[in-house]
Amino acid sequence: MALEIVVMIKQVPDSQEVEIDPVTKTLNRMKARNVLNVADDNALEAALSIKDKVDAHITIVSMGPPMADEAILECMGKGADRGILLTDRAFAGADTYPTGLTLAAAISKLDHFDMIFAGEETSDSSTGHVGPGVAEFLGIEQITYTQSVRFEDGYVIGERELEDGVEIVKAKPPVLITVRLGSNIPRRQTLRKKIDALRKGVESWTLQNLGIPPEWVGFKGSPTVVRSMKTIKEKERSAKRITIEEIGQMVKELSDSGVLKMEVKEQ
Amino acid sequence: MTGLINAVPTDKPDEYRNVFVFLETRKGSVVKSSLEMIGIGREIADKVGEKLVCVIIGNHLEPMAEEAAKYGCDKVLGAESPDLEDFKTMPYAHYAAEFISEEKPNIFLIAATHDGRDLASRIAVKSRTGVTADCTVIDIDPKERILLANRPVYGESTLAEILCKNHRPQMATARPGVFKVPDRVDGKNCEMDIRKVKVDPDLIRKEIIGFRPKEEFDITGADIVVSGGIGLGKKEGFSMLQELAEELGGVVGASRPAVDVGWIERDHQVGQTGRVVRPKLYIAAGISGKAQHIVGMKLSDVIIAINTDPDAEIVKYSDYFINDDVYNAIPAILKEIKKLKGEKVEEITT
Ligand SMILES: Cc1cc2nc3c(=O)[nH]c(=O)nc-3n(C[C@H](O)[C@H](O)[C@H](O)COP(=O)(O)OP(=O)(O)OC[C@H]3O[C@@H](n4cnc5c(N)ncnc54)[C@H](O)[C@@H]3O)c2cc1C
Ligand SMILES: Nc1ncnc2c1ncn2[C@@H]1O[C@H](COP(=O)(O)O)[C@@H](O)[C@H]1O
């Protein structure tokens, strides 16, 4: 039986183009182009490289506005087999809890799944909490922050990047895997797959398809709220211009203020 | 397992008291970022007169619990089993959530390390509450006991304040390296409640089969970073910086182009595609101060820039600006430091 792989992707404003509105201090998303979240592209590539070796079927699942189907079509153009967009006004304004719940509800409607891939985080909300949330709702184990993933003898083996090294983890499917930004080089779309993708199209699912109450999702279902946004002020620095002759004075100032520790070994 | 179920507002939020902090451990010791959580956790617990409880999960916990207590907590709550020796998400999240339902904490802080983030949202979902990611400013409203969780967004340009008013516990992960490690004091009073547990075999679904320790040179912890850029003009410039760094007890950093031309290894690179450092003193020698470099060092306490160009962008990020050749300025700094140390030696010996 083919391995069933789900890849969760999100369309985000291109971070290179995002502008902060100088008056309202909020993100001016209207100006930015929308793109596939880069870490999700890496997650898709990790899934596709498994499909290169074994018989596998890849379903893309994304929650977002109707235009997010572009990002899903892009994934299909690279080799994903099916695309599902969860789109409904009720989903708007979700924090990580209902986002995970909505995605998990959709995934649980699929006949079967062996692996779920997600990016390590998105560029617009950068929490990294959605992937593990989905794993919790579905009651499965997870391997997060992977820089490489392989499927061998029925096991998923992931190399996790930690602060002090790389941990190698082995788990039996079903398992959720999150993939490090930049951990692989995503392939390009091919013309044939692109045409196939357009022919197949993206399925659009609403709240009704998921069978969960409207107050569980979107803004209403979110335990956290943003109370305020403040511009972060850069620290003011004096840029005191000094000459070579004044360096002695500077060193003394830094020593007196404790920035430089003049450790003197006792003789 | 939580199942497909919503977050629920807590009926009686007043019953939720005290601050939980998760202690992450590596190879038998508590990681530094968790000690930072004790610091900020203690601060907010004191503001509302509540207790600070450290949660620790693993094996052979006693020495680590004793050690954590020296940084100032009222209680250590632990789950101990050989099955918990390695970090495994499902059993770890299980015991953390059990401790929550038993003790009803108002707040739960976890360092936003990879393992910390791996765990945090699973614990939140289990407890049907919210969690704010990667906070850099944390406070508490002393009257309502609402956690004020602030996190940078939009490429660090904006600070968003996020509240979780109706759900308990109020959870947050906090960025490592931002909060202070409290002073270590021997003989503090702390209640120890470490329980031997028998882990449900159904929770053990992954196995750690290997570990490759990082061999890279790590510049992020240093108090002093002496960095060089293209302005050094040649590889030998870095030997000069190395000598100054050694004299100051610091490390050498570099701009990306200096790494690209092969004057120094990649693990010394500061910036967007290198490391982010926040030392007490940062010296930028022959570095122009492009945005991608600045994001890696702008949080340093004091910045000295050395540049022949009086209008280089680095100037506005500097506290001291030496408008001269690096080959004049660096030896002069070195000389002055040796001189000052010499004076101190005399003070001691005479
Ligand atoms: C996607 C991306 C990511 C990047 N990531 C990073 C990153 O992580 N880190 C990073 O550093 N850069 C990064 N860069 C590159 C960055 O944009 C700049 O090109 C780089 O920081 C400039 O390095 P520099 O200051 O050493 O060189 P230059 O810009 O060439 O500046 C050299 C400076 O030295 C001065 N100088 C020359 N001779 C002397 C002398 N004898 N004495 C004193 N001063 C002298 C000059 O006046 C000049 O200001 C990135 C770029 C991109 C596009
Ligand atoms: N709206 C969404 N639709 C599909 N996947 C998502 C969505 N939001 C987040 N994800 C997935 O969860 C990962 C982590 O996102 P975040 O927690 O927002 O940083 C992303 O890289 C995606 O794989």
- Residue A27's pLDDT is 58
Q: Which of A122, A183, A205 to mutate to test the pocket of ligand 2 (most atoms within 8 A of CB)?
A: A122
SS3 B161: strand
Closest-CA residue, ligand 1 atom 26, reads: B229
CA B219 to chain centre: 14
The answer to whether the beta carbons of residues B118 and B104 sit under 8 Å apart is no
Mutation target vs B (from A240, A260, A265; most B CBs, 10 A cutoff): A260
pLDDT tens-digit map of A215-235? 999 999 999 999 999 888 778
pLDDT tens-digit map of B99-115? 999 999 999 999 999 99
Of A98, A141, A244, the CB nearest to B206: A141
Model confidence band, residue A26 (pLDDT cutoffs 50, 70, 90):
low
| Ligand 2, pocket residues at CB < 6 Å | A 8-10, 37, 39-40, 43, 62-64, 96, 99, 103, 118-119, 121-122, 125-131
Across residues B239-268, what is the average pLDDT? 96
Sort B187 into a burial class: Cβ within 10 Å, 0-12 / 13-18 / 19+: exposed
What are the angstrom distances between the C-alpha of B281 and each of A184, B54, B181? 36, 33, 19
pLDDT tens-digit map of B136-173? 999 999 999 999 999 988 777 789 999 999 999 999 99
Which residues does B83 contact at the CB level (< 8 Å), separation at least 6?
B91, B199, B204
The answer to whether B311 faces chain A, any CB pair under 8 Å, is no
Strands (DSSP E) found in B36-155: 52-58, 75-80, 107-111, 131-135, 137-141, 146-153
CATH class of the B219-339 domain in this structure = alpha beta
Tell me whether residues B121 and A136 touch, CB distance under 8 A. yes
**C-alpha dihedral over B337, B342, B343, B349, to 10 degrees?**
150
pLDDT tens-digit map of B174-201? 998 889 899 999 988 899 999 999 999 9
Tell me whether residues B161 and A255 touch, CB distance under 8 A. no
Of A164, A216, A255, the CB nearest to B6: A216
Token digits of residue B22: 């998760």
User: Which residue ranges make up each domain of chain B?
Assistant: 2-200, 219-339
Separation between Cα atoms, residue B193 and residue B113, nearest integer Å: 25
Mutation target vs A (from B1, B89, B100; most A CBs, 10 A cutoff): B89
- Residue B334's pLDDT is 96
Across residues B45-52, what is the average pLDDT? 97
CATH class of the B2-200 domain in this structure = alpha beta
Ligand 1 pocket member B315 (CB < 6 A)? no
Model confidence band, residue A129 (pLDDT cutoffs 50, 70, 90):
very high
CB pairs under 8 A between A and B: 255
Separation between Cα atoms, residue A49 and residue A150, nearest integer Å: 8
Ligand 1 pocket member B307 (CB < 6 A)? yes
The whole-model pTM stands at 0.84
The answer to whether A154 faces chain B, any CB pair under 8 Å, is no
The answer to whether B204 faces chain A, any CB pair under 8 Å, is no
Domains within chain A, CATH numbers bracketed: 3-216 (3.40.50.620)
What is the ipTM score, two decimals?
A: 0.85
The answer to whether the beta carbons of residues A122 and A91 sit under 8 Å apart is no
pLDDT tens-digit map of B271-323? 988 888 989 999 999 999 998 899 899 989 999 999 999 999 999 999 999 99
Per-residue pLDDT for A25 more than 60?
Answer: no
Across residues A238-260, what is the average pLDDT? 95
Across residues A154-169, what is the average pLDDT? 96
Atom of ligand 1 nearest to the CA of B291: 17
Token digits of residue B256: 């990306």
User: Of the candidates A84, A68, A15, A9, which has an alpha carbon nearest to the alpha carbon of residue A40?
Assistant: A9
Give residues 12 to 71 of B whose Cβ lies within 8 Å of A. Answer: 26, 31
CA B180 to chain centre: 9
Average pLDDT score over chain B: 94
Q: Could you tell me which chain B residue has the CA closest to the CA of A215?
A: B6
Separation between Cα atoms, residue A258 and residue B39, nearest integer Å: 22
Across residues B37-54, what is the average pLDDT? 98
Model confidence band, residue A267 (pLDDT cutoffs 50, 70, 90):
very low
Higher pLDDT, A231 or B5: B5
- Chain A residues close to B297, C-beta within 8 Å: none
- Chain B residues close to A239, C-beta within 8 Å: 315-316, 318-321
Model confidence band, residue A1 (pLDDT cutoffs 50, 70, 90):
confident
- Residue B214's pLDDT is 83
Tell me whether residues B114 and A162 touch, CB distance under 8 A. yes
- Residue A266's pLDDT is 46
Topology match between the domains B2-200 and B219-339? yes
Of B4, B31, B118, the CB nearest to A104: B4
Per-residue pLDDT for B60 more than 90?
Answer: yes
Separation between Cα atoms, residue A210 and residue A84, nearest integer Å: 12
Separation between Cα atoms, residue B5 and residue A260, nearest integer Å: 55
Of A125, A141, A170, the CB nearest to B89: A141
Across residues B74-88, what is the average pLDDT? 97
